[in-house]
Amino acid sequence: MKQKKGIQLNQAFGTILTLVLVAVLVIVAIVIFVNLATSFEGSVDLSETNDTVDMSSGANYIDNATLCGFDNFAITQVSNVTGDALIAEGNWTTTADGLITNTSSEFPSEWLVTWTGTWGSAACSSSEDMTDEFGNYTSLIGLVGTIIFLGLVIGVLVASFAFGGRKEI
């Protein structure tokens, strides 16, 4: 039988199977890292004394609000920027994600805020970074290429051991 040029159907099966395996592994990895990041939320206590917050727009997030898994934000004290006059609790409101809102127009644009909260630790940040990297096509192409290469090498080895034995006459 004469061999035709190009890829044969029986040869394409292994390549398609490898691509499906890569897609499944990438999807499973993304699901695992997303769930892992949320499992760390609020696991490490934070506190800050006299954190300078710009309130010129009337509301602002504290700097640490961008940390992975930041939650449970609570203010213990607010004063003016020089620290010599306290700003009473009725003049501001907060949310658990680190937002401070000025409800009175009589106070300066910079406040010193003493607060407590929690965040998800470096493990949470690492999980989010890994999930972000899966969205970066450059990293994903390298990962897919490596897995396909390894799949082909393993396929050749399995094929040579499974079908490459001696034939008895």
Total-model pTM: 0.57
Mean pLDDT of the chain: 78
Q: Are 146 and 56 in contact (CB under 8 A)?
A: no
Q: What share of the chain is helix, strand, coil (3-state, %, to 5)?
A: 45, 25, 30
Instruction: Note the Cα 124 to chain centre separation in Å.
Output: 7
| Among the ranges given (35-39, 58-62, 73-77), the one the predictor scored with the smallest mean pLDDT | 35-39
Rounded Cα distance, 108 and 91, in Å: 12
Averaged pLDDT, 60-73: 87
- Determine phi and psi for 52, rounding to 5 degrees: -80, 125
What are the distances in angstroms from CA 125 to CA 62, 93, 94, 154? 18, 28, 24, 34
For residue 34, give every residue at least 6 positions away whose Cβ sits within 8 Å of its Cβ, in sequence order, or none.
Answer: 127, 131
Which pLDDT tens digit goes with each residue over 120-144? 888 888 887 877 777 766 666 777 7
Identify residue 61 by its one-letter amino acid code.
Y
